[in-house]
Amino acid sequence: MNVPARSAASEDSVRWIGDETGLLEMIDQTLLPGSTTLIRCERVEEVWEAIRALRVRGAPAIGIAAAYGVCVAIRGEGSLADLLQRAVSAADYLATSRPTAVNLFWALDRMRSRIAEGSFADAPALRRALLDEARAIHDEDRQMCRAIGRHGAELFEDGFGVLTHCNAGGLATAEYGTALSAIFTAHDQGKRIHVWVDETRPLLQGARLTAWELMRHQVPCTLICDSMAAQVMREGRIQAVIVGADRITANGDVANKIGTYSVAVLAHHHGIPFYVAAPSSTFDLTLVSGEGIPIEQRAASEITEGFGRRTAPEGVAVYNPAFDVVPARLVTAIVTERGVIAPVSARRIASVIGDAIEIA
């Protein structure tokens, strides 16, 4: 269901409306920047579709939406036993929406753990407990984003040109973003930062979303085609690269939007530091390296008929991976809410992130 947009100043890409019998509301990111339209999800199937269709996207935001999706699944009437079964089934169902962003599975595992704790007096008590858990996931992400911004801003000097790829701002998280949080915080500190925005083919998240967010925050920015990054680096316009992440493995390999690997190679060639910004919930320490990360394959039409206009001949073969993996050796540092991981190594990651994963 579509509803009128909130104020353009709002940073809530996802939010819960009402009490434990309420509903999930989110900005439909597929319509930006032309229209700031909200959708309301009252059925778990609508939440699944919103995640799958990229109406909500960005690893942290996907996790938050999925957590609330479990709450959506138990809005209706039913006995405690019925709602417990629906909650577990909803978590399993939502986990099938997208395969790469680990925050989705992390958030759903937290909801499952809360369900498994039991001791619910009745159905209303279960609803309240699960909504409290989803809200905690949401609030923790807000705090992590702000902390990432504080740590990341220290990496930028006054006058830096910074390149970013895809979107890792408030739309992709609970509030201020990850990669963009570092940029926003540096800007707030008075540093003159100029952001070079890769348009990010084929769905143009950089052009449609990142440029939109930067302009709303009055951060100077310039939009470029992905294929222009090498030239802009060669001209000396870029002093740092910072991106978000959808999954980071135990050795520091990073999965992010397709095209990120290319940017990392270019940065390495030109001697430009390549930073990744992500909360601890984006680390998957069960995977030794990026070779084990599942890479989502998306529809051919995103390339052949992007945004409703055919740009390739009928029947052409298409390969459309949504993500690629940057090897840890190309990552200068990973910025987390717990500090900056540098150098990037399995030992350093375990010392900074290991207990955070265990606690979660």
Three-state secondary-structure class, residue 100: coil
Which of 28, 246, 284, 324 is the catalytic position? 246
Order across the sheet with 333-336: list the strands.
Answer: 221-224, 194-198, 161-164, 240-243, 274-277, 333-336, 339-341
Alpha-carbon span 239 to 69, nearest angstrom: 41
Instruction: Report whether 245 contacts 59 (CB < 8 A).
Output: yes
Those residues whose C-beta lies under 8 Å from the C-beta of residue 20, and which sit 6 or more positions away, are: 71, 124, 127, 128, 130, 131
The DSSP-derived string for 32-57 is: TTT---EEEE-SHHHHHHHHHTTSS-
Please state, as a whole number, how many other Cβ atoms lie within 10 Å of the Cβ of residue 85: 14
Q: Tell me how many degrees the CA angle 146-148-149 measures, rounded to the nearest 5.
A: 65
Q: Cα dihedral sign for 267, 276, 224, 297?
A: positive
Residue 350 tokens, joined: 């375990």
First CA to last CA across the chain, in angstroms?
A: 33
Q: Is 246 a catalytic residue?
A: yes
Alpha-carbon span 54 to 296, nearest angstrom: 13
Q: Pick the closest to residue 338 from 143, 58, 123, 98 (CA basis).
A: 143
Residues recognised as catalytic: 246
